[in-house]
Amino acid sequence: MSSSRVAFVAGATGYTGQAVVRRLVADGVRVVAHVRPDSPRLGEWCERFIALGAEVNAAMWTGPEMGDAIRELGVTEVYGLTGTTMKRARSLARSGGDAADASHEAVDYGLTRHLVDASVAAGTRPWLVYLSSLGASPSARGSYLRARGRAEVAIQEADLPWSILRASFITGPDRGESRPAERVGAVLGNGLLAVAAAFGGKRLRERYRSIDADGLAAILVALPGDEARQGQVLTLDALRG
């Protein structure tokens, strides 16, 4: 199947990002998987994405350089799937790096800000799909949800078509990275939500129950071009099949 869609996936190496790349390729979309230029696994990722049928781009994380790439590649949709954890920041500090480079401010807000600036600088108005989190708000108390909230505002203020999806737990047995707390939280949460659903809380269950990367990817890739979802902050209860 051929398509006029060209997708640029930022965060392509992550759990969700890899699934989005796979899903888009399967749908016949031309896919450009972005890998950070300083990735110690750049060569390995190039091989893996090319074997899947995607292209690879390793533009610097700056508005102008990434913007040039988005324009020159003829990108019609951009996916913002990057994100960090406190564990990543601690691990960077242990290996002699600056933990601030892996902070929520630098990654969850900062990289999204660059992606927005790049999408605007491209001048071609690609549709920006951003994976956010339930509870995101610029006035949230925690640094993660606050950074996500600020990223959402940056998107909403940009002159672009956009869709934001606020997910809860993204996890599944196929997640390579070990995140036991997230898995346990998802299993317990899903159990409680099943009870709530039995008492009429189906919508609540659909919003909060965990989702795996393949399920999420199918939802995300259907957003660009869907005018009813343009300029919308969405939750999963409105989108699960």
Catalog residues that contact ligand NAP under the rule CB under 6 A: 11, 13-17, 36, 39, 81-84, 102, 107, 111, 131, 133, 167, 169-171, 182
Q: Which is nearer to ligand NAP, 100 or 198 (CB)?
A: 100
DSSP string of 117-159, one letter each residue: HHHHHTSS-PEEEEEEETT--TT-SSHHHHHHHHHHHHHHHSS
* Residue 215 CB, nearest approach to ligand NAP (Å): 13
Q: Do residues 53 and 28 make contact, with C-beta atoms less than 8 angstroms apart? A: no
CA–CA separation, 96 vs 18, rounded Å?
28
Q: Which is nearer to ligand NAP, 96 or 200 (CB)?
A: 96
Percent helix / strand / coil, the chain, rounded to 5: 50, 15, 35
> In what side-by-side order are the strands of the sheet with 6-10?
55-57, 30-34, 6-10, 77-80, 127-133, 162-167, 232-235
Q: Which amino acid is at 8?
A: F
* Residue 114 CB, nearest approach to ligand NAP (Å): 10
Q: Which is nearer to ligand NAP, 65 or 182 (CB)?
A: 182
* Residue 3 CB, nearest approach to ligand NAP (Å): 24
Q: Which is nearer to ligand NAP, 21 or 198 (CB)?
A: 21
Q: Do residues 4 and 29 make contact, with C-beta atoms less than 8 angstroms apart? A: no
* Residue 2 CB, nearest approach to ligand NAP (Å): 28
Q: Which is nearer to ligand NAP, 82 or 235 (CB)?
A: 82
* Residue 39 CB, nearest approach to ligand NAP (Å): 5
